Amino acid sequence: MKKEQVKENFQFYFEGILNSYSRVFFSKSKLFAFIIIAATFINPASGLSGLISLAASLLFAEWFGYNKIFIRDGYYGFNSLLTGLALGVYYEFSPAFIFILLFASMLTLLMTVWLAVFLGNYNIPFLTMPFLFSTWISILSIRTFKAIELSERGIYVFNDVQNFGGIYLLKFYDQIISLNIPFVLDAYLKSLGAIFFQFNIFAGFIIAVGIIYYSRIAFTLSLVGFFSGYFFYFFQKAEFSDVYYSYIGFNFILTAVALGGFFFVPSVKTFLLVIIASPLVAVILSAFSYIFNIIQLPIYSLPFSLIVMLVIFAMSNRLTPKGINYVTNQQNSPENNLYKFANRIERFERDTYYHFQLPFYGKWFVSQGIDGKITHMEDWKYAWDFVVKDESDKTYNHTGASLNDFYCYNLPVLATAAGYVSEVVNDVDDNEIGGVNISENWGNTVVIKHDNFLYSKVSHLRKNSIRLKKGDYVKKGDILGHCGNSGRSPEPHMHFQIQSNDLIDGKTIKYPFSYYLLEKDNGNLFRSFDYPEEGDTVLKVQSTNLIREAFKFSPGTVMKFESINEKGEKEKVKWEVFVDAYNYPYIYCYNTKSFAYFINNETLHYFTDFTGDRKSLLYYFYLAANKVLLGYYDNMEIKDKLPLSGIYSGPLKILQDFIAPFHIFLNAEYTFSFKNIDNELNPSEIVISSNAVTGFGKTVNRKLDFELTLNNNKLKKILISDGKKRISAEYIS
């Protein structure tokens, strides 16, 4: 038990330290962290000082009892790391220095907490502000502490290089210098190194490789940012060498990554934003350098922090995103931010709509749709008229002279969603066929309030068929009344609209039906958050008990599976369903510590996100059940897009990453269908077949096939075929 505790603690600090390193570059990549650590130790004293300061800060934070997740994710550590690195470059290593370093570290931590809360109120990130304040304070105060001596490190690069790698490295360094690296490239690499207070192209090169590994988009951004700054100086006839010698060119790089891909979803527009923001950085840089020179303080990353804070604050006070979208679900990688965002827009943009189902049983025909030519005009254009038709497209049998001849007359009209009845008219006579009642235009009508400023209305109901009164609560699917021919209705039909007020003649607002089936060539197409069009035959989705029960993952549900792969290796896997602090349910895999977030809305089960081990059974299940219709329908296929992150790898993906902000050519598509049902009357087993295909154009890059067997109201079996891999998992308890 004790041993496990120690291991857990070690793991916690270990992750905290790594994340703090990569966090400087807005990343959470461990390998990237190692690369940065290596780079910081080119100047060992500085590297060590940084590490000490960071470790101290994490210990303090844990000891004071701050949020462990923030500590582990590096939010509380990265400023202290920078403080340590900065001070380590300036001063000779001595006990006195370490003493001061610890206090500087703690000061940084306290500043971090304060700024995190203070700026958090305005939704502004604190960035490197804590580091700046505490480092300046330290530098100023140390001037009075005689025990601490200035260091020459960072000034004499050759010495540093020799200290780090001996004479051979020095010779190698000499050779590289004699290669006559173009000035700008040299400046770029040194600026990169300078982020971690390493003023040599070695460190810069290592970090550049690290950035490419971490994010192709970030790398491109770093170049765009740096060169926009450079060209600005060029045009303004300013001396870029000022920037070069003071090693503060990295401000352009950090600003570019922050604005271009971290805080905003990478796109052409964020690239333009970076190009616009770079001169601003330059302006701030020049202005503040002037002031700071007076008190002999370096300005470090102040321009970066100020500009990014400024832009974010300004951008968060816009009315529309206009292509510069704030990242709401931070993935700590510009690529993933982009792919997740693109996928979310594709899949869930309309999920925020209130769910309205169709107001009837069976197949109805849209006789007049949105912008209809008969009456759906101007303020009342977002409405639908529904009737019932027979095989020969007639709406009536016999002569059609009496109301009863019309198929839709007297059919039940259902509540499209739950709500309170806010208005009822029930006493308008039904017209004879061909007659219209212009004075009581809407006829018998029910208006239901679903939410503030969200009402639905059905009109032209049969006289006295409404058994509700104002204030009654109706559930989704309750019968409101019966279809009739009252009001401005020459033949029986049902009028439906969504409106923002409770008036009988309320103006319509454009609002989709959540889910419905569209009849097409003897089959049905599944439609989500769509608008039925004139001439469509539509019906509502009916769920099937077995599927609904099998996908009912209530919090606390534990599922255990035994899987066996093509090599015959067996594994037992344990999942449990939880709900997070934001009320989002997810399945957690104990074996791989993976999370699969899902939504179940009684029509669909779908996964929204996955984090963790992408070789785990849970990941495959996340793909296999990415979008499951909870009602059995023969011959129906549902397609959806999967996020590119995770499912793709290899050179194509790297190429895609580079150009992703401008064009996404790869795709990952999900297809779902029902394969088998043992008995439609009382099904005890339903088999779902799904696949995930990645590729571009018609080229298939990777194809995964899945089969899910539902039996006895449980997910009984998962079959996976991924290239040569074959996994079969069976539910055990």
Q: Contact residues for another protein (CB under 8 A)?
A: 360-364, 388, 390-391, 397, 404, 407-408, 410-412, 475-477, 479, 542-543, 545, 548, 678-682
Instruction: Tell me how far, at minimum, the Cβ of 594 lies from another protein, in Å.
Output: 31
Instruction: Tell me how far, at minimum, the Cβ of 626 lies from another protein, in Å.
Output: 24
Q: Which is nearer to another protein, 51 or 408 (CB)?
A: 408
Q: Which is nearer to another protein, 354 or 361 (CB)?
A: 361
Alpha-carbon distance 207 to 193, whole Å? Answer: 7
Alpha-carbon distance 127 to 303, whole Å? Answer: 11
Q: Which is nearer to another protein, 352 or 679 (CB)?
A: 679
Q: Hey, what are 135's tokens?
A: 């480092």
Instruction: Tell me how far, at minimum, the Cβ of 680 lies from another protein, in Å.
Output: 8
Within 8 A by CB and 6+ apart from 352, the residues are: none
Q: Which is nearer to another protein, 274 or 474 (CB)?
A: 474
Within 8 A by CB and 6+ apart from 7, the residues are: none
Q: Which is nearer to another protein, 413 or 504 (CB)?
A: 413
Instruction: Tell me how far, at minimum, the Cβ of 630 lies from another protein, in Å.
Output: 10
**Of the candidates 634, 726, 609, 608, which has an alpha carbon nearest to the alpha carbon of residue 688?**
634
Q: Which is nearer to another protein, 73 or 536 (CB)?
A: 536
CB 513: neighbour CB atoms within 10 A?
23
Alpha helices in 495-638 (DSSP H): 545-550, 617-624
Instruction: Tell me how far, at minimum, the Cβ of 411 lies from another protein, in Å.
Output: 5
E strands in 230-354: none
Q: What is the SS3 assignment for 701-715? A: EEEEEEEEEEECCEE
Phi, psi for residue 436 in degrees, rounded to 5: -130, 155
Instruction: Tell me how far, at minimum, the Cβ of 366 lies from another protein, in Å.
Output: 15
Q: Hey, what are 394's tokens?
A: 């007639």
Instruction: Tell me how far, at minimum, the Cβ of 537 lies from another protein, in Å.
Output: 11
SS3 541: coil
CB 95: neighbour CB atoms within 10 A?
8
Question: Amino acid identity of 419?
Answer: G
Alpha-carbon distance 248 to 270, whole Å? Answer: 23
CB 729: neighbour CB atoms within 10 A?
22
Alpha-carbon distance 533 to 367, whole Å? Answer: 9
Instruction: Tell me how far, at minimum, the Cβ of 270 lies from another protein, in Å.
Output: 46
Q: Hey, what are 210's tokens?
A: 């690290």
Q: Which is nearer to another protein, 476 or 702 (CB)?
A: 476
Within 8 A by CB and 6+ apart from 670, the residues are: 623, 626, 627, 639, 640, 641, 642, 690, 691, 692
Instruction: Tell me how far, at minimum, the Cβ of 461 lies from another protein, in Å.
Output: 15
Give the single-character DSSP code of 262. Answer: I
Alpha-carbon distance 278 to 267, whole Å? Answer: 17
Q: Which is nearer to another protein, 396 or 620 (CB)?
A: 396
Instruction: Tell me how far, at minimum, the Cβ of 362 lies from another protein, in Å.
Output: 4
- Structure-token match 């300005």, residue found: 299
Q: What crossing angle do the helices spanning 216-235 and 651-659 adopt, rounded to 10°?
A: 40
Alpha helices in 358-421 (DSSP H): none
Q: Which is nearer to another protein, 284 or 630 (CB)?
A: 630
Alpha-carbon distance 670 to 627, whole Å? Answer: 8
Please report, for residues 463, 573, 655, 702, 726, the alpha-carbon distance to residue 649 in angstroms, rounded to integers and kept in the order given. 64, 26, 10, 10, 20
Residues in the chain: 733
Q: Which is nearer to another protein, 372 or 412 (CB)?
A: 412
Instruction: Tell me how far, at minimum, the Cβ of 531 lies from another protein, in Å.
Output: 22
Instruction: Tell me how far, at minimum, the Cβ of 473 lies from another protein, in Å.
Output: 15
Strand partners, 78: none
Q: Which is nearer to another protein, 42 or 414 (CB)?
A: 414
Q: Which is nearer to another protein, 330 or 542 (CB)?
A: 542
Instruction: Tell me how far, at minimum, the Cβ of 631 lies from another protein, in Å.
Output: 10
Confirm if 368 and 346 have CB atoms less than 8 A apart.
no
**Of the candidates 61, 573, 549, 85, which has an alpha carbon nearest to the alpha carbon of residue 298?**
85
Instruction: Tell me how far, at minimum, the Cβ of 408 lies from another protein, in Å.
Output: 7
Confirm if 39 and 207 have CB atoms less than 8 A apart.
yes
**Of the candidates 191, 381, 408, which has an alpha carbon nearest to the alpha carbon of residue 303?**
191
Q: Which is nearer to another protein, 432 or 678 (CB)?
A: 678
Within 8 A by CB and 6+ apart from 62, the residues are: 12, 68, 71
**Of the candidates 125, 106, 119, 121, which has an alpha carbon nearest to the alpha carbon of residue 254?**
125
Q: Which is nearer to another protein, 350 or 394 (CB)?
A: 394
Question: Amino acid identity of 92?
Answer: E
Q: Which is nearer to another protein, 216 or 495 (CB)?
A: 495
Instruction: Tell me how far, at minimum, the Cβ of 117 lies from another protein, in Å.
Output: 47
Q: Which is nearer to another protein, 69 or 681 (CB)?
A: 681
Instruction: Tell me how far, at minimum, the Cβ of 634 lies from another protein, in Å.
Output: 10
Alpha-carbon distance 603 to 357, whole Å? Answer: 10
Instruction: Tell me how far, at minimum, the Cβ of 65 lies from another protein, in Å.
Output: 47
DSSP-based helix, strand, coil % in the chain, nearest 5: 40, 25, 35
**Of the candidates 136, 148, 142, which has an alpha carbon nearest to the alpha carbon of residue 298?**
136
Q: Which is nearer to another protein, 7 or 675 (CB)?
A: 675
